[in-house]
Chains A and B, each alone.
Chain A
Amino acid sequence: MAQQTLLQARGIVKNFGHVRALRGCDFDVYPGEVVAMIGDNGAGKSTLVKIVAGVQPPDNGELYFDGEPVTLADPTEAQALGIETVYQDLALAPDLDPAANLFLGREVLKPGLIGKLGFLDTKAMTAKTLAAFKNLGAGVQSATAPVATMSGGQRQSIAVSRAATWADRLVIMDEPTAALGVVQSRAVLELIRRVRDQGIAVIIISHNMPEVLSVSDRVEVLRLGRRVAQFVTADTDMEALVAAMTGARVQEDAG
């Protein structure tokens, strides 16, 4: 692949006290692809995601975005680059409705003088939210009931729609289907495909191998804080992925 990477991580190191979460980890994302990040518990997946999302700084190593070196001091800097993250705990505000959640921290104010006084344009935000849900085929009908009352699948749809609405380049999803049933998982995976079809790259962390094989274009495998293998999904199978995850088979050039 001679294509320019969208995001490239090189030699990322992160220690928590004596725990070495990442020991010189590499990672690549190409524009417009769904790349699955897999690995056993403790492989460093969540840590790497937090670094790419700007939640934690790495102790060492470089991040390149569009080939340019970047440092991400906090999530808003990642957001400014067009990177949005769907966190494992969803990161929604339960007492607010979907529209308020979609626009949390990016509220739209009314036009003119009233807006200058700091008044919200609730109507515009609700309309845009419903349009985003429709556009992505998210199964959420109401933009005005508090999120706390909705099912896990609906909440996940809101979180994904929120990320897709604001991300121009890359959406990161930390186990988006971990807490969902079969039908709901399928809906979220469909949502992920639609996000990719809009030209936005997606990193998905998952423990579910059939899901990884069905939704991703490429797979990168982490093990003990390093990348140990890269696969093109079409050319691989579950056995190869599991072998790489457990260290039974080693890819020499993945380093």
Chain B
Amino acid sequence: MTATTVDQATAINDNRRRRLNQVLVEGRALIALAIIIVIFASLSPNFLAPENLIIMTRQVAFNAIVATGMLLTILHGGIDLSVGSTLGLTGVIAGTLLEGWQVPLTQLTAFPSVWVVIVAALSIAALVGWINGVAIARLNVAPFIATLGMLFMARGMALVISDGRTFTQLRGSPELGNTGFLTVAGGRLLNIPIPVYVMIAVAIAVSILLNRTPYGRWLYAIGGNARAAELSGVPTKKVIIRAYVLSGICAGLVGLLLTADLVAATPRAGQLYELNAIAAVVIGGAALSGGRGTVRGTLIGAFVIGFLVTGLVLVGVSVFWQQVITGAVIVLAVALDQAQQRFVGRERTARSAKEPPDRRGDGPQDDKEVATTAS
């Protein structure tokens, strides 16, 4: 039974190597983050000041929340280009309700309380996501097209509802009982801004969803091999629709948070947010083809982008150059990811070539490390 012991030994060895690799892969984005922090900390003494860190993290939170929703759609092999517009629409809905909603066909103006405003705005965001999902899963519209259409529609609706104007009377009044929105969504708790708490809560919730529930498995399965998932009895259409609903809700959350943060709801809020979110997901190691990506990676990706942009501002780099640098970092991050996968792939081929051909279990246990890059 020496064979078994040897096999067990290789298995343990592989496990160890796999874990090491996992650290390295996740590390890639973390190393990038560390480099950014070191560079900017040495260039600007204010970079690591507690208050600056808090402000930067608050900025990161907006993108990170949207990106976490985006991750769900990318995992199934899709994409959600409409999140920026959904964000703007949600803000406008909240603004309209807080300033007082003219009930159609009547002379009445409604002043719903804050929790009603929040639930209503998020419901609209979920509805937008649901329409995306139905178009993609039931009507077979390509995700890129369906959500590109929604990008225009949701932005258009935001402009229609607001008539292009910005809502600034968001405080409410005690007589109407609709005060508190700015405190709930824009305040601080223990000197940490609310958006940071929301980011942590969303990240934990989505992480649990992906790793501890059948839904997460189904989403990864669909992204890897949609046909296999369907043949296994996975309700693929429902799973996909739900991913877009969740993405819409995440965008809606940021719509509310950003509105409170700016103390203004503008129909143009959230433009280009979809691109920042996609960048965060991709820097975090997700594959646009689906099946691969984690919440942790996405968060790190959001921090890389956020710290980079704020750092450039602090150091005094011009806005124009900021865009050039941000774009270069995105491409570089993905290029590194690809290079690393090629490297691991080569290593694996080399090793399996050395293996005796008659080994039981058909050789390439060593490939597990590719797996790690892939997970």
Are A91's CB and B371's CB within 8 A? Answer: no
A208 at the interface (CB under 8 A from B): no
Q: How distant is the Cα of A50 from the Cα of B233 in the complex, in angstroms?
A: 15
Query: Is B316 interfacial (CB 8 A cutoff)?
Result: no
Give the number of chain A interface residues (Cβ < 8 Å).
41
User: Is the pair B231, A91 in contact by a Cβ cutoff of 8 Å?
Assistant: yes
Q: Which A residues are CB-close (under 8 A) to B292?
A: 95
- Please state if B374 and A91 are interface contacts (CB–CB under 8 Å): no
Most chain B Cβ neighbours within 10 Å, of A106, A107, A150: A150
Is B215 among interface residues, defined by CB-CB distance under 8 A?
Answer: yes
The B interface is mostly helix, strand or loop, or mixed, namely helix
A124 at the interface (CB under 8 A from B): no
0/1 string, B356-375, CB within 8 A of A gives 1: 01101111110111110011
In Å, the complex CA distance between A228 and B234 comes to: 37
How far apart are A155's CB and chain B's nearest CB, in angstroms?
9
A117, closest chain B residue (CB): B213
In the bound assembly, the distance between CA atoms of A58 and B48 in angstroms comes to 69
Q: Which of A66-82 contact B (CB under 8 A)?
A: 75-76, 79
Q: Chain A at the B interface: mostly helix, strand, loop or mixed? A: loop
Of the candidates B10, B221, B292, B358, the one having the most CB atoms from chain A within 10 angstroms of its own CB is B221
Q: Give the residues from 332 to 375 in chain B that come closer than 8 angstroms, CB to CB, to chain A.
A: 357-358, 360-365, 367-371, 374-375
Q: Is the CB of A139 within 8 A of B374?
A: no
Separation of A184 and B10 alpha carbons in the complex (Å): 20
Bound state CA distance, A182 and B358, in angstroms?
Answer: 10
A96: contacting residue among B212, B215, B220, B357, CB under 8 A = B220
Closest Cβ of chain B to A184, distance in Å, is 5
Tell whether A146 pairs with B374 under 8 Å between CB atoms, given A92-B225, A95-B223: yes
Interface residue A213 (Cβ < 8 Å from any Cβ of B): no
- The answer on a CB contact under 8 Å between A76 and B233 is yes
Whether B361 and A95, one on each chain, are in contact in the complex, defined by CB atoms closer than 8 angstroms, is no
Number of interface residues of B (CB under 8 A): 42
Determine whether B69 belongs to the interface, using a CB cutoff of 8 Å to chain A. no
B362–A93 CB distance below 8 A: no
A107 and B214 contact, Cβ closer than 8 Å, known pairs A91-B227, A95-B224: yes
The answer to whether residues A55 and B223 also contact, given A94-B291, A139-B361 and a CB cut-off of 8 A, is: no
In the bound assembly, the distance between CA atoms of A179 and B365 in angstroms comes to 18
Q: Is the CB of A93 within 8 A of B225?
A: yes
On whether A94 and B360 interact (CB within 8 A), knowing A104-B234, A145-B371, A148-B370, the answer reads no
- Complex contact B362–A146 (CB within 8 A): no
The interface of chain B, by Cβ under 8 A from chain A, is 7-8, 10-11, 14-15, 18, 212-215, 217-218, 220-221, 223-225, 227-229, 231-234, 291-292, 357-358, 360-365, 367-371, 374-375
Apart from A76-B233, A107-B217: 17 A-B pairs, beta carbons within 8 A: A75-B233, A87-B231, A90-B228, A95-B224, A95-B374, A105-B218, A106-B233, A139-B360, A141-B10, A141-B11, A141-B361, A142-B14, A150-B364, A150-B367, A150-B368, A154-B362, A183-B357
